[in-house]
Structure 1
Amino acid sequence: MSLPPLPLLLLLLLTSEPAGAMLIRIPLRRVHAGLRTLNPLRAWEKSAEPPRLGAPSPGDKTFVPLSNYLNVQYYGEIGLGTPPQNFSVIFDTGSSNLWVPSGRCHFLSLPCWLHHRYHSKASSSFHSNETKFAIQYGTGRLNGILSEDKLTIGGLTGASVIFGEALWEPSLVFAFAHFDGILGLGFPVLAVGGVRPPLDSLVDQGLLDKPVFSFYLNRDPEAADGGELVLGGSDPAHYIPPLTFVPVTVPAYWQVHVERVHVGTGLTLCAQGCAAILDTGTSLITGPTEEIQALQAAIGGIPLLMGEYLIQCSKIPTLPPVSFHLGGVWFNLTAQDYVIQVGHHHKDVTVTQSDGFERVGLGVRHH
């Protein structure tokens, strides 16, 4: 069976029909994480409330560059306020709120003092809200207040958004993170406090040509750029047409139906089909415990204490592909795709265990 490479571009369509003006390009940067910080968001995040189910490019395109942290954390820059106060944020499809550290944060909140902080008094466009919000993490609760101000993202300025000022950030996970805050790209039903997600606000205000965003993630550790987030469309330079579109099955997370998963030619997982979430805030591929254990056994993974698995470097060239069938098309992960190098002397596969009408576009990347 001949399988194409797994795409490094995701094209995601929002719901509204805007009368917008431009495409926005946001560069991503890449930074490197240790074994215990591979998944700072999804490993501990749980909403405190139950869900209520760059520079402009030529022409009409504006893009946001992304940083890449060991192919684990990809983040980019935004601005809040007038004049803009700049922050590095994770663009996270698994949540729907925008928050950054506040200049009014608690003096014992170490993560806040180690990052850029938003100062409302320094912004002429600030509007007070003062509604309290909270997001529950496994190591503690992130608390803050909601505020309203202007968002600068890529080449776009002047968009009014409601965001969180974090007054208390839990744990050293955030203290040593390379990002200041999180910009959620999920659906409104997931938004804590019932606020409008930032991209939905851009669509509502007619600032995007199309209700679409896409990610290109550059896995080359030597490359200067980590990729880019494009708002309002996609960049054909990063994929081989045509895109494969699959429907979103639950408009909360970006959840899709996976038809099945093959590990080489000897193991089939998700044999009857299964649900999957495309989550840019998650560093790892997660799945039901039994199936992940079967997958790791097939590739020779050595289990570690916290749910990760170790792979010997010498075995990388001989490991089988892990292949996903979505929208009638096979997408193939090679060992170079699914093994993360954590140290100089070994590589490991890190997989956490989990319980087990929009469209998502998948594109085969250029080599």
Structure 2
Amino acid sequence: MYLRQDLVLLMLLSSAVASFIRIPLRKVPGKTGTLRILRSWRTLEIPLPKNGPILVPLSNYLNAQYYGEIGLGTPPQNFSVIFDTGSSNFWVPSRRCNFFSLGCWFHRRYDPKASSSFQPNGTQFSIQYGTGRLDGILSEDVLTIGGIEGVPLVFGEALWEPSLAFALAHFDGILGLGFPALAVAGVQTPLDTLLALGLLDQPIFSFYLNRDPEAVSGGEVILGGSDPAHYVPPLTFLPVTRPAYWQIHMDRVIVGDSLTLCPTGCAAILDTGTSLITGPSKEIGALNKLLGGFPLLAGEYLIPCDRLSDLPTISFLLGGVWFNLTAQDYVLQLASGRTRLCLSGFLALDVPPPAGPFWILGDVFLGPHVAVFDRGAARVGLARARGTPPHPIPSPPPPRGP
């Protein structure tokens, strides 16, 4: 990528000042929830096939959308973006978007005419997400992230966002943190850009997601490292089995003492852009039936709220270590006036070969844990987040199918 000399100088000056770059995740006060809103965020944000860390604070909407602020252009135009490990491109809505693109009109839009550092590119791109398609053109400008300014990169201006999910989303765009293999149009990923410019000491980033809906902070993303203050050591490291998504091997899943899923092992993806945990419909159906859930449309299940205290612990065996979720972790509780709704955090989703089948461990799983993504070693480290109560190690039942 062509770098203007003045931009490189600005970037180097910025890197000489900052020693640790954090991106806080802002917390947005929870609003009244409806099933229509739930369907706007529960599905995938996955495309179908020498300084210290940069920290980005995250916001949390209903424990389902975590996003942080970045700037684009000179002077910076601010946007809220999902930091998504399930994709690898960076895009924001464009001032030049299609008139009928609702996702553009309900969000902040990038204006190339308002940026003195804008450089045209014009290459067309298209991304197919689980929630719909996105079309646009590539452009070049400078990124402001976690206090670092003047980072030149190629990004997408979204011109057409036909999906209702994007229109209802509480974020403007997406900043992908997947592997280069997922990048559409061969664009250098944001992480690789930061590494190539020498802004990160290590090809590592980490997520801490605050699941307390009353907390002011939604957590943070750290680009370039991790903060041990966020988790209870040690980290359990798992090798990436497919360097596109952050895909790992999951040994099995047990539900209380009566049901075993993924009994002989299966693939799983750690995805910060997916709100819930998804799995094959047959297994997720058996799990939700055991929980007393009843199906809604599109693979969702409602759980009777008066059953929460009786629901079992659900445990995931990863790298020989049990990672456990209680009902407080895996049931999303929402209020609409005097009505209280309890939504299962497990969504039925069948991903066909050759990409699938696989489970997706989204924010319902990642929230109680801290995840450290190590691109250099192609591995992921997991540990219980501080402030979340430890759960007893389960005694595995005999393997049983759904």
Instruction: Give the alignment's TM-score, normalised by structure 1.
Output: 0.87
Aligned-partner Cα distance in 2 for 1:298–1:44: 25
Q: Percent of pairs identical after alignment?
A: 67
The SS at the match of 2:277 is: coil
* Deviation larger for 35-44 or 150-159: 35-44
Aligned match of 2:380: 360
Amino acid at match of 1:23: F
Query: Mapping of 1:287-302 within 5 angstroms?
Result: 287-302=279-294
Cα separation, partners in 2 of 1:214 and 1:140, compared to 1, 3 Å? closer
- Is the contact made by 1:45 and 1:136 (CA closer than 8 Å) also made in structure 2? no
Q: CA deviation at 1:157?
A: 1.6
Cα separation, partners in 2 of 1:68 and 1:138, compared to 1, 3 Å? closer
- Is the contact made by 1:310 and 1:347 (CA closer than 8 Å) also made in structure 2? yes
Verify: 1:334 aligned to 2:297, yes or no. Answer: no
Aligned-partner Cα distance in 2 for 1:290–1:61: 42
Aligned match of 1:213: 205
Aligned-partner Cα distance in 1 for 2:253–2:46: 28
The SS at the match of 2:58 is: strand
Q: CA deviation at 1:208?
A: 0.5
Instruction: Give the alignment's TM-score, normalised by structure 2.
Output: 0.80
Aligned-partner Cα distance in 2 for 1:362–1:303: 31
Aligned-partner Cα distance in 2 for 1:284–1:235: 25
Aligned match of 1:35: 35
Aligned-partner Cα distance in 1 for 2:247–2:185: 22
- Is the contact made by 1:284 and 1:352 (CA closer than 8 Å) also made in structure 2? no
Counterpart pick for 2:20 among 12, 18, 23: 23
Aligned match of 1:222: 214
Cα separation, partners in 2 of 1:258 and 1:138, compared to 1, 3 Å? closer
Aligned-partner Cα distance in 1 for 2:46–2:237: 29
* Deviation larger for 271-280 or 100-109: 100-109
Counterpart pick for 1:194 among 186, 191, 202: 186
Q: CA deviation at 1:136?
A: 3.0
Q: CA deviation at 1:243?
A: 0.8
- Is the contact made by 1:139 and 1:170 (CA closer than 8 Å) also made in structure 2? no
Aligned-partner Cα distance in 1 for 2:167–2:45: 16
Aligned match of 1:169: 161
Verify: 1:249 aligned to 2:244, yes or no. Answer: no
Note the residue ranges of structure 1 that are not aligned, 5 or more in a row. Answer: 1-18, 52-58
Amino acid at match of 1:24: I
Of structures 1 and 2, the one with the larger relative CO (CA 8 A, separation 6+) is 1
Q: CA deviation at 1:307?
A: 1.4
Cα separation, partners in 2 of 1:64 and 1:138, compared to 1, 3 Å? closer
Q: CA deviation at 1:167?
A: 1.1
Aligned-partner Cα distance in 2 for 1:140–1:366: 36
Amino acid at match of 2:190: P
Aligned-partner Cα distance in 2 for 1:337–1:223: 16
- Is the contact made by 2:63 and 2:211 (CA closer than 8 Å) also made in structure 1? yes
Pairwise CA RMSD? 2.2
Query: Mapping of 1:1-367 within 5 angstroms?
Result: 22-31=19-28, 32=30, 34-38=34-38, 40=40, 43=43, 47=47, 51=49, 60=52, 62-137=54-129, 141-343=133-335, 344-350=339-345, 351-355=347-351, 356=357, 358-367=378-387
Q: CA deviation at 1:202?
A: 0.5
- Is the contact made by 2:280 and 2:348 (CA closer than 8 Å) also made in structure 1? no
- Is the contact made by 1:22 and 1:209 (CA closer than 8 Å) also made in structure 2? no
Cα separation, partners in 2 of 1:39 and 1:25, compared to 1, 3 Å? farther
Aligned-partner Cα distance in 2 for 1:63–1:150: 18
* Deviation larger for 320-329 or 349-358: 349-358
Aligned match of 2:370: none
